[in-house]
Amino acid sequence: MNLRTPDVLASVQAQVESHYRSALVERIRDAGGVLTAGRTTIRLAKQFGFCYGVERAIDLAYAARKVFPDRQIVLLGEIIHNPDVNAQMSALGIRHLPARPDAGQIAGLDPEDIVIVPAFGAEVATIEAVKQIGCQIVDTTCGDVMSVWKRVRQNATEQVTSIIHGKAGHEETRATASRALGKEGTGHYLIVLDLNQTAGVCEFIKSGGDSASFLSQFKGAYSPGFDPQKHLQRVGVANQTTMLRSETEEIQRRIRAAVEDRDKGSSSNFRFFDTICGATQERQDALFGLLDHPLDLLVVIGGYNSSNTTHLVEIGEKKLPTYFVRNAGCLLNSQEIRHFDIHRDEEILASGWLPPRESPVVAGITAGASCPNNLIEETVRRLLDLRGEEA
């Protein structure tokens, strides 16, 4: 059944808006993204929060609950990387399975169950196992993710190894890697996290080396039977759609240069497709624009396991004090804030984060593509409250 019919979506629109809409955020946007109250100024990035793909995934989940009120609905992992939104899925009676369920969990499904595939997709083997049970699948996979899948499948068909810039444990990257094997399962992939790992790949492309040593550096990040001596001859760069664009472009440039160095100037054994998510790029560009204004601090709101949000934090912390918070509850008081340290991979407590009330302050705020506006409003109101101001 097509859940995206006008009558179905209209029937759930009010429910979705009641959970995630913010009149205050809309007012600030209408005022040019600036709110001043007393000695406190809030500046919002021009682009932040839910993207189209996230909105679509949430709409479909709500629609599934509306259309199938008496059926068990299960979600493969998280609908998006935001704990508050996923808690709302549970409140709707949607049960969460692991993103990579084991055979026993799959066997526990019933043919009458509705299975939701999240916005970042799911691995081929998981989808096929669910189909074997006979469950109806509601696929909310983002179109930008599917574009990457198309490219890596093409690579597999033409015996080109996909070098995927991404996080090996991320649901989207695992889903993409499973498509890089191709329909026959004979394709290959290698996942690189950053420029440090890319340097090792480039060196092997140019000069070769010890295969066992190379593979030990990429444990869990390459296809079955991957042989760097053979499978780095023809390569194509793809990416997890939420990575930092500048880093993906640099990885592409370095690998291309390595192939040309090995092949005496020829790039015929190299391919690259621009598959960075448009919404991810818009939010990164908007943050760069926000940072052009004088700011005392930056608050980034989103789920701690959200890749696109993490990259916003990376951009911000290069210029000014940056605090990565899940929601307004992390703003404990005017002296202490609980925020996520992306380098230590843990939540920490920071002191002296907010200037005293008698001092003027300009705070920048942005949010990842999986953060709803209601959480942004709550954070704005909490910050103003700690400053003794009202919105």
Write down the residue that tokens 């526990």 correspond to. Answer: 108
Integer Cα distance of 340 and 118 in angstroms:
24
The residue among 379, 306, 300, 313 whose CA lies nearest residue 79 is: 306
Side chain identity, residue 337: I
Query: CB count, 10 Å around CB of 346?
Result: 9
User: What does the H/E/C string look like for 18-39?
Assistant: HHHCCHHHHHHHHCCCEEEECC
What distance in Å separates the CA atoms of residue 274 and residue 249, rounded to the nearest whole number? 9
Q: Which stretches of the chain are DSSP H helices? A: 6-20, 23-30, 52-67, 83-91, 103-107, 124-133, 143-157, 171-180, 195-207, 211-216, 228-231, 245-262, 278-290, 307-317, 373-386
Is 78 considered catalytic here? no
Q: Which of 123, 172, 377, 378 is catalytic?
A: 172
Q: Which residues are catalytic?
A: 172
